Amino acid sequence: MPRHNTSVCGNCLNDYVVEQVKRAIKDQAMFQRGDRILVAVSGGKDSLSLWDILTRLGYDTAGLHIQQGIGDYSEESYRKTIAFSESRGAELIVHSLKEEEGAGVLELAELTDRSPCSACGVMKRYNFNKIARERGFDVLATGHNLDDEASRLLGNVLRWQEDYLAKQSPSLPATHDQLVKKVKPLYRLAEREITAYAVVNKIDYVIEECPMSVGSKMLVNKEVLNRLEADAPGTKQAFYFGFLERQRPADLSREDDKLQSCTRCGQPTSAAICSYCRILEKVKTAP
């Protein structure tokens, strides 16, 4: 672990990873014992490791997997997620876009002239929130790690997206009674530390990246940060943690005022009809 100027064995790695997650949960007041946590699991190393760690710590969790319908990649993701949940006897909720929304991510993108990543993002955010609320979960947890958050920060800074900067947080409270709290308990851990955790603990995850993410800004930013990190270990952490210390958080109490209920589905949105319903409209009217 160059950024800590140390090497560790498997046991010490496990202790370190679990300690960092405990600290994240405490420092950011993410959730408490007894809270019901819905873990969004893609089948990748981050979200499966997160589910593993939270279970190990004795939290009350269930997994939620969205089947995106992106060919072999989605099939493989689904298989790995199911295998993990069965091996742990853990509850898994599966939501298939093809079955529930009537089309997978690629068809949705085509019908709406959106990029696949944009259509996928809308579908995931909407269903994460709706399913968590409907099923009575207190909080939704995702597997975003330090690399994800640092590269998102870099993207937001490069374009000075102040709105996004104010809201970029490892713990976002529910700002509306129809919204669930969202947390990222892996934000203190680097991608390679989580990969090592998954390998040491024999977690069988999907190795390939989503084929739609090839060439995305997020991956370019990650590469840039990896080069900086290789040159000066600790750069990513200094960048992101330094931001969290200096951040002037958005006045989230006023966020509520900006939201209204979607006239179609009733979910909170900043427009009259939410993005999800606008996408579904296209599916319904497609030839």
Q: Which residues bind ligand AMP (CB under 6 A)?
A: 40-42, 46-47, 64-66, 68, 124, 142-144, 148
Beta-ladder partners of 156:
none
Nearer to ligand AMP, 67 or 112 (CB): 67
Query: Looking at 41, 108, 274, 279, which residue binds Zn ion (CB under 5 A)?
Result: 274
End-to-end CA distance of the chain: 55
265 binds Zn ion (CB under 5 A): yes
Nearer to Zn ion, 32 or 270 (CB): 270
Other Cβ atoms less than 10 A from the Cβ of 11: the count is 9
Shortest distance in whole angstroms from residue 40 CB to ligand AMP: 3
Nearer to ligand AMP, 46 or 101 (CB): 46
Query: Looking at 125, 133, 217, 264, which residue binds Zn ion (CB under 5 A)?
Result: 264
Helix axes 217-231, 235-246, angle to 10 degrees: 110
Query: What binding mask, one character per residue, do residues 214-253 give for Zn ion by CB under 5 A, x or -?
Result: ----------------------------------------
Shortest distance in whole angstroms from residue 76 CB to Zn ion: 31
Nearer to ligand AMP, 161 or 260 (CB): 161
Contacted entry of ligand AMP, Zn ion, none for residue 143, CB cut-off 5 to 8 Å set by kind? ligand AMP
Other Cβ atoms less than 10 A from the Cβ of 187: the count is 25
Shortest distance in whole angstroms from residue 211 CB to ligand AMP: 12
Neighbouring residues of 51: CB distance < 8 A, sequence distance ≥ 6: 39, 41, 61, 63, 84, 90
Max intra-chain CA distance, the chain: 60
Burial of 99 (0-12, 13-18, 19+ CB in 10 A): exposed
Nearer to ligand AMP, 64 or 103 (CB): 64
Which one-letter amino acid corresponds to residue 176?
A: H
Nearer to ligand AMP, 50 or 263 (CB): 50
CA 64/CA 77 separation, integer angstroms = 12
Q: Taking the alpha carbons of 63, 64, 66, 67 in that order, is the dihedral positive or negative?
A: positive
CA 226/CA 143 separation, integer angstroms = 19
259 binds Zn ion (CB under 5 A): no
Neighbouring residues of 137: CB distance < 8 A, sequence distance ≥ 6: 36, 37, 38, 62, 180
Q: What is the three-class DSSP state of 67?
A: strand
Nearest by Cα to 185 from 151, 150, 142: 142
Nearer to ligand AMP, 164 or 273 (CB): 164
Shortest distance in whole angstroms from residue 213 CB to ligand AMP: 7
Of the candidate spans 6-14, 26-34, 60-68, 276-284, the one that interacts with Zn ion by CB under 5 A turns out to be 276-284
Contacted entry of Zn ion, ligand AMP, none for residue 47, CB cut-off 5 to 8 Å set by kind? ligand AMP
Within the chain, how many helices (H) and strands (E) appear? 13, 8
Query: Looking at 28, 262, 268, 279, which residue binds Zn ion (CB under 5 A)?
Result: 262
Q: Summarize as ranges the residues that interact with Zn ion (CB under 5 A).
A: 262, 264-265, 274, 277
